[in-house]
Amino acid sequence: MSTAHGEQVRILEEHGQESGRSLNWWGMVFFIASEALIFANLIAAFLYLEIRNGGVGWKLEGPILLPIIATAILLSSSYFVHMAGSGIRKGNRRNLIIGLIGTILLGATFLGFQAYEYTNLIVNEHMTISSSIFGSAFFTLTGFHGLHVTIGAIFLLVVLVRTLRGHFTKENHFAVEAAEMYWHFVDVVWVFVFTLVYLVPLLR
Amino acid sequence: MATRTIGEHTTATTTTGVRRKRFSESYIGEWITTTDHKQLGLMYLITGFFFFVVGGMEALLIRTQLALPNGKVLSPEVYNQIFTMHGTTMIFLFVIPVLSGFGNYIVPLMLGARDMAYPRMNAFGFWLLLLGGIFMQSSFLIGQAPNGGWFMYAPLSELVAGHAYEATPHMNADFWLLGTTLLGISSITGSLNFVVTIFKLRAPGMSINRMPLFSWMILVMSFLLLFALPSLTVASVLLLLDRHMGSHFYQYGNGGDPLLWQHLFWSFGHPEVYILILPAFGIISEVLPVFSRKPIFGYTFIAWSGVAIGFLSFTVWAHHMFAVGLPSVAQAFFATSTTLIAIPTAVKIFNWLATIFGGKIRLNAPMLFALGFIAMFLIGGLNGAALAVVPFDYQITDSYFVVAHIHYVLFGGTALAVFAGIYYWFPKFTGKLMDDRLGKWHFWVTFIGLNLTFFPMHIMGILGMPRRVYTYPGNLGWNDLNLMASVGALIIGIGVILFMLNIIKSLKQGQAAGDDPWDAFTLEWDTTSPPKKYNFLEIPVVRSRRPFYDKKYPEHADWKSVVEH
Amino acid sequence: ACGENSPSILNTAGPVAESESGLFWIILWIAVVIFILVEGILIYSIARYRERPGMPNPFQRHGNMTLELIWTVIPTLVLFVILFFTIRGLLEVAPENEPAATAAQPRMAVTAVGHQWWWEFHYPNYNVTTADVLEVPVGTTISVDLFSNNVIHSFWVPALTGKTDLVPGHDNKKWFVADKEGTYMGICAEYCGTQHANMRFEVKVVSKDAFKSWMSTQQQAAATPNEDLAKKGEDLFKNQCASCHGIVGVNVKQYYDTKAQCTDAPGGKANGTPECLIGPNLTHFGSRNLIAGGVLDNNTAQCDPNNPNLLKDCNLAKWLKDPQGIKPGNDMAIGALTNEQIQQLVAYLEGLK
Ligand code: HEA
Ligand code: HEA
Ligand code: CUA
Ligand SMILES: [Cu+2]
């Protein structure tokens, strides 16, 4: 965007409004806010249906260990993506690359866990999106999150490719920042989803 | 549109002198590839108006069918598609595009900016809108237009409703669900753009508190879209999953719940109706002061009441669900929040009155429409307040009384404001004035037609006529009123034709407008008409809420005399 | 002139509707006052301050705090007065405030079932089911269970009570009392598909005695025809109609309670079983006034089977000749009947008093 609309930026400088966050940063923040509301709505729908069906406490079959490991993996990826971001902010390309690769690998592992969990549920527990309302709600909510992880990982992959081609500099690396923001968002959402789907039923 | 030098890709210029014209430089290519907010704004406006005519034709079909009892013009299946598409078209494809069109064109100019924050995303949003619109209307070609009403209640919009009754087995609902999702994405991009533009690209000195009210209202509208659309997206995705993946979200037999749809839909749908009116409030707040030769009265109150409406609009959704059997406590809560939302609206109305009071009023076409807006929106607001009286709503919900409410706020409100905006800014868009006499004719014909069409609907509702009926028996005393409404619709149609004639005539032989035909107050008039590609030669510096007024009348400048509150 | 026969919400015949519609006048007067005030100021300003030659520029006033306070506070007060009436009225008619049964005002339970596109009414205490007519005694609290196993419908009798929706999966309830005998129109008020426009019913309010005798007829099985024509009609019914319609004593043993049995929830009976036939129960069809959600009146007098103009005069015959032409899209999809067959069916069905 910055090359095609170089003029815009120049004007901004004239205004002396370059201070603070960039335009794109703000755009990303509001975009993520809107995305967050998608999850808020899905979570509300999940809770609504759960309560309509006799109160909170839908429980998955099987041990909770795997999801906990998956969660740990996903959350630790936030560290790597932060490493990537702060790396490039300091001009450290090595950290950027390591961070990106680390995040993508951890994200992929998380998706692997999710795929395993789905297969197990479908094949062994016969729980599908159509088997019950819990199935509908569970697969939709976690599936939506999985979709976001996938999108985030693809985003990071693109950033990685561009990094390897030498696109980013200390000053100019908004794509990295955006990917980082998106990834953090995906992680934070998981905390809510995980709490709702896996932890809350334990309380009962 | 000759000057397109700034902002091009530098890599694209060749070193050798002669080269072929690129596609983006041809006339059509320029429109298709443009990222200029003004051109996109016009494209939004034209598209929106095109869909207004489409939705209007659908309305005329409705009124033809209902003109006489036992009408046989449309079959029930077709009627149901028509009224669904009428509401959907008017809301998603007329009002939203037209309002974003104004926003796109005017907001950067008002703020003294060179363009929107994300010009290419802006173009993307427009093309997505056009795609979504064409996609939805194309459903008529295969005879499967959406037919579930503009709020697509489940389980009627499911493939199969409970107990193996067929509901919407064909693609009708899919067109609606996918179409609105596309339009939703388009609106999200548009809103992001507005929010960031308004927050970040204002001219030096234009603090949020000095920004024109139209920009304020576009800002609030954008936030509403950003935060309300996710509910619609989720509702639609869940329904699509129900329809095609076998999930059960809205199917009671498997633990789903039809009311989940209603909660999700209306938590979008109610903010939505304020999305449809806030920018209209903004237009009115621009037009009234200029044509009364006074500053807007109570700027701060108008601005912040808009924000209050925005917040409150997320708390009232279940007033569309008073009849679904919610617990009394919930109904009392939603009645209260709905009542509260009338207060900021009242504040606006009174401030507008105070703006014209004691002014020097010029009754040109834009002002007529703006005054008409106040007069008509008031009726829509008052009958809205009646709908919020829950026990009374039990009687009139889903009757023609509601149809009357919708149209007084949306036609008497938004559409009149849109016309005011077009008469007001047309000189800026084109450099030519619109014919004022024809404009006045347009106003009065529309005004009469609209009251003749929609006022009787209050009475029909009270006489027990339900909405969304493709026909009615002749012995229930509804005949005369329906006939009146149908005649009224024709008269509105004549008004619309007058408007189109006016546009064509003014484009061809309109009087040259000059840069500032109305002696206006805000920055969009402080540049050429139409503005050059980069809007302002010199970015203006702002010292008050009426920067252009200050510039023209330096001895009376606002910043000298006003302590801003 | 207009509205004499209308199901107007202002011609009330019972306390619930009175309480609901009564608010109309309060709101109307408040609205009229505000309307006159606002439009008055508007018109006055336009007339008084319209630009005239030589008019000086107006004073550039930007606002006034006192005025802002005034026009925030006064509407707030007015709105809270309205809100008071709202909440009071809301509680007055709420299902939890249904009056308890007394000797003077007994209570009767009814289940209203919404079908696409006709109404079924079940009287659980009497085990009787009717279609398109809800007959109730005067001065009695009618406690209605609202049930739908398909899409959402809405129960509305403007003269007696406002709307409550029949939402699948929700046990909505409402109540009303009729003070005056008479026949009142009921209307389905939630868009429910193709024939939403023709989903009316009738509430027939009769004296308590008349209700008793009506009920005892309804409780009996259908009369066995003795004329030849009607007998043939009955056979025809058994062959061609019994898959969708029930007649007690002919193809079903008794009335069934749809609400209790025909749900999608686990354990519910499937569509098409005797308990869950998709067409109206016709046991006492001859005594009803409406056909198929009120698209036609059941003009029994014109339905003498020997009438040579039967197909022109008798609405039932018209219905049987072409149900899809009369109510396009409805669920009674049958093969064409010969005029003879129609004659036989009319003779049979109209005889089922
Ligand atoms: C532009 C769109 C718009 C706007 C601005 C409004 C504004 C309001 N609406 Fe409306 N509404 C719709 C569009 C809109 N509505 C649509 C499209 C539907 C139908 C959806 C469908 O079913 O298809 C609907 C339906 C609808 C319902 C549901 C009806 C039903 O289905 O049963 C209700 C119920 O409370 C309601 C209430 C209100 C209220 C209280 C306001 C208030 O904001 C109005 C406030 C304004 C005033 C009150 C006037 C000015 C005030 C004064 C001069 C002060 C003094 C006034 C008093 C003291 C009363 N609306
Ligand atoms: C902005 C919103 C908007 C606007 C502007 C309108 C405009 C009109 N509406 Fe609309 N309406 C809705 C929003 C709107 N409506 C909504 C949301 C619903 C609810 C839908 C639902 O229940 O799901 C509804 C429902 C609705 C109904 C109820 C249908 C039903 O319940 O069965 C009716 C009935 O009369 C109606 C009539 C009209 C009329 C006569 C106009 C007129 O004002 C139209 C004026 C326009 C014209 C007359 C077209 C002019 C064009 C020409 C004359 C073309 C000439 C052509 C050439 C030269 C090529 N509308
Ligand atoms: Cu049933 Cu409308
Ligand atoms: Cu609303």
Interchain CB contact of A56 with B (< 8 Å): no
Interface with chain C: mutation pick from B82, B340, B348, B394, highest number of C CBs within 10 Å: B394
Tell me which of B77, B403, B490, B501 to substitute to probe ligand 2's pocket, judged by most ligand atoms within 8 Å of the beta carbon: B403
Cα separations in angstroms, B156 against B239, C5, C114 = 11, 32, 13
Q: Based on the domain organization, do B25 and B169 belong to the same domain?
A: no
Residues B19 and B161 in one domain: no
Greatest alpha-carbon span in chain C: 97
Q: Is the pLDDT of residue B15 over 70?
A: no
Query: What is the pLDDT, as a whole number, of residue C4?
Result: 67
Nearest residue to B261 (alpha-carbon basis) of B146, B154, B150: B154
Is the predicted pLDDT of residue B261 greater than 90, yes or no? yes
Contact assignment for C165 to B323 by CB distance below 8 Å: yes
- Which ligand 3 atom sits nearest the alpha carbon of residue C190? 2
Please return the burial class of B95, using the count of CB atoms within 10 Å of its CB with bins 0-12, 13-18 and 19+: buried
pLDDT above 80 for B316: yes
Residues of chain C positioned with their CB less than 8 A from the CB of B483: none
Amino acid B565 reads H
Spatial distance between the Cα atoms of B369 and C167, rounded to a whole number of angstroms: 43
pLDDT band at residue B165 under the 50/70/90 scheme:
confident
* Distance in angstroms (rounded) separating the CA atoms of residues B363 and B352: 15
Task: Give yes or no: residues B7 and B99 share one domain.
Answer: no
Residues B14 and B158 in one domain: no
Mean per-residue pLDDT, B333-362: 96
CA–CA separation, C322 and C332 (whole Å)? 10
Q: In what order do the strands lie in the sheet with C172-177?
A: C128-131, C118-123, C107-115, C141-148, C172-177
Please give the Cα distance from B498 to C154 (Å, whole number).
Answer: 42
Contacts of A12 in chain B (CB under 8 A): 200-201
Q: What is the pLDDT of residue C29?
A: 96
Same domain, B49 and B27: no
Q: In the structure encoding, which two tokens stand for residue A55, read together? A: 């109160």
Name the band, by pLDDT with cuts 50, 70 and 90, for residue B17.
low
Contacts of B332 in chain C (CB under 8 A): 86-87, 90
Q: Indicate the class that CATH gives domain A31-203.
A: mainly alpha
Q: Does the interface predicted TM-score (ipTM) exceed 0.90?
A: yes
User: Which atom of ligand 2 is closest in space to residue B79's alpha carbon?
Assistant: 32
> Any idea which ligand is nearest the CA of B83?
2
Q: What is the mean pLDDT of chain B?
A: 92
Considering B274, B441, B470, B518, which one is annotated as catalytic? B274
**Percentage with pLDDT > 90 across chain B:** 85
CA angle C331, C334, C336 (to 5 degrees): 145
Q: Which long-range contacts (CB under 8 A, 24 or more apart) does A86-94 make?
A: A88/A168, A88/A169, A88/A170, A88/A173, A88/A176, A89/A170, A89/A173, A90/A170, A91/A169, A91/A170, A93/A163, A93/A168
Average pLDDT, integer, range B36-54: 96
pLDDT at B18: 61
Q: Do C20 and B349 touch (CB under 8 A)?
A: no
pLDDT at A190: 96
Give the tens place of pLDDT for each residue, B385-417: 999 999 999 999 999 999 999 999 999 999 999
C-contacting residues in B 100-119 (Cβ below 8 Å): none
User: Do both B19 and B105 map to the same domain?
Assistant: no
Query: Is the pLDDT higher at B12 or at A159?
Result: A159
Tokens of B532: 């050059």
Is the separation of the CB atoms in A192 and A40 below 8 Å? no
C192 lines ligand 3 (CB under 6 A): yes
Name residue C63's amino acid: G
Confidence of residue B159 (pLDDT cuts 50, 70, 90): very high
Sign of CA dihedral A16, A17, A21, A23: negative
Q: How far is the CA of C114 from the centre of ligand 2 (A)?
A: 30
Q: What is the DSSP string of A63-97?
A: -SHHHHHHHHHHHHHHHHHHHHHHHHHTT-HHHHH
- Exposure string of C96-120, with b = 16+ CB inside 10 Å and e = fewer, is eebeeeeeeeebbbbbbbbbbbbbb
**Mind telling me how many Å the CA of C202 is from chain B's nearest CA?**
14
Chain B residues touching C187 at Cβ < 8 A:
464, 466
Same domain, B125 and B18: no
From chain A residues 25-54, the ones with a CB under 8 A of any chain B CB are: 26-27, 30-31, 33-35, 37-38, 40-42, 45, 48-49, 52-53
Based on the residue annotation, tell me whether B274 is a catalytic residue of this protein. Answer: yes
Same domain, B503 and B557: yes
pLDDT along chain A (204 residues), means of 10: 35 47 89 96 96 85 87 95 93 92 96 94 92 94 97 95 90 91 96 93 81
Q: Ligand 4 centre from B384 Cα, in Å?
A: 9
Domain span at residue B49 reads 34-564
**Which ligand has the nearest atom to the CA of B315?**
4
**Are residue B47 and residue B28 in the same domain, yes or no?**
no
Q: Which of B229, B241, B255 is the closest to A140 by Cβ?
A: B241
Nearest CB among A23, A49, A139 relative to B196 is that of A23
Per-position DSSP letters for C144-201, written without gaps between them: EEEEESSS-EEEEETTTEEEEEE-TT--EEEEEE--S-EEEEEEE-S--STTGGG-EE
Q: Are residues B274 and B292 in the same domain?
A: yes
| C163 with B394: Cβ contact below 8 A | yes
Pairing between strand C107-115 and C141-148? parallel
| CATH number of domain containing B499 | 1.20.210.10
CB atoms within 10 A of CB C15: 19
Q: Specify the residue with its C-alpha closest to ligand 1, atom 56.
A: C75
Answer yes or no: do C86 and B335 touch at CB < 8 A. yes
pLDDT of residue B23: 74
How many whole angstroms separate alpha carbon A85 and alpha carbon A103?
A: 11
Task: Give the number of the atom of ligand 3 that is nearest the alpha carbon of residue C191.
Answer: 2
Is B187 tagged catalytic?
Answer: yes
A79 touches chain B (CB under 8 A): no
Same domain, B28 and B46: no
Ligand nearest to the CA of C114: 3
- Chain A CB contacts of B229 under 8 Å are 34
Chain A residues whose CB is inside 8 A of the B256 CB are 49, 133, 136
Compare all CA atoms of chain C with the CA of B66 and give the residue at the minimum distance: C197
pLDDT at B9 over 70: no
Chains that touch B (3 or more CB pairs under 8 A): A, C
Ligand 1 proximity of C36 Cβ (cutoff 6 Å): no
Per-residue pLDDT in tens (0 to 9) along chain C, 353 residues: 345 689 999 999 999 999 999 999 999 999 999 999 999 999 999 999 999 998 888 988 889 999 999 999 999 999 999 999 999 999 999 999 999 999 999 999 999 999 999 999 999 999 999 999 999 999 999 999 999 999 999 999 999 999 999 999 999 999 999 999 999 999 999 999 999 999 999 999 999 999 999 999 999 998 888 889 999 999 999 999 999 999 999 999 999 999 999 998 888 898 889 999 999 999 999 999 999 999 999 999 999 888 889 999 999 999 999 999 999 999 998 999 999 999 999 999 999 98
| pLDDT range class, residue B560, cuts 50, 70, 90 | confident
Chains meeting C at 3+ CB pairs closer than 8 A? Answer: B
Residues forming beta bridges with residue C135, ordered by sequence position:
C204
Return the structure tokens found at A130. Answer: 């159509």
Number of independent structural domains in chain B: 2
**Among partner residues B114, B188, B260, which is closest to A49 by beta-carbon distance?**
B260
How many Å lie between the centroid of ligand 2 and the Cα of residue B58?
A: 7
Which chains neighbour A (Cβ–Cβ under 8 Å, 3 or more pairs)?
B
Is the pLDDT at B518 greater than 70, yes or no? yes
Interface probe with C: pick from B75, B81, B389, B470, most Cβ of C within 10 Å: B389
Within this chain, do residues B14 and B146 fall inside the same structural domain, yes or no?
A: no
pLDDT score of B563 more than 70 = no
